[in-house]
Amino acid sequence: MTETSMWTEEKIAQATRVSREKFAKYIARLEMPVEEELAQSAQLDKWYGDHHEFYKVRKESMLKRTKDPLWEHSRVMNQQCKACAYITRAAGSAFTRSECVNCGTLIMNASTDVDVLCKHCASILGCCTHCGAEMEEPC
């Protein structure tokens, strides 16, 4: 890390907290029995109420993915934390420019949900390109 780094330890720690919390919630939801989850959400029940088995299989495969060495490899290659790599982001699919918060380099994003760091800074800082959280070791 250089002394001129704008993406400070404090910011990294904050982003890391958010990322880990988000991912823990995601896993907890995937591990929750389908019946229990549908009982908690009218929206989900509307979508999957008649397709419990389908939803269960879908959840299992999403959970499995987070422990799959191949997915983990591609996550690390893409320089993304687990939360950003595994949780589907809902964003508009319009090419959007942003600036790396660390060095100001222009970043081209495929969606409106923009990355905070350029690939170069993310890799030097050991952070997620998208949210700037500290990277997890592949499992």
Binding site for Zn ion (CB under 5 A): 19, 81, 84, 100, 102-103, 105, 118, 121, 128, 130-131, 133
Which one, 40 or 105, has the nearer CB to Zn ion?
105
CA atoms within 13 A on the CB side of 138: 14
Query: 38 or 84, CB closer to Zn ion?
Result: 84
CA distances from 4 to 30, 88, 138 (A): 41, 33, 29
Strand partners, 96: 109
Q: Take residue 62 and report the two structure tokens written for it.
A: 């999403």
Residues 115 and 25: their CA atoms lie apart, in Å, by: 22
Q: How far is the CB of 54 from Zn ion (least distance, A)?
A: 29
Distance of closest approach, residue 117 Cβ to Zn ion, in angstroms: 6
Count of alpha carbons within 13 Å of 137, Cβ hemisphere only?
A: 1
Shortest Å distance, C-beta 61 to Zn ion: 22
In this complex, which beta carbon is closest to Zn ion, that of residue 43 or of residue 97? 97
Sequence length of the chain is 139
CA angle 101/72/108 to nearest 5° reads: 30
Indicate the residue among 19 and 48 with the shorter CB distance to Zn ion. 19
Write down the least CB distance from residue 139 to Zn ion, Å: 16
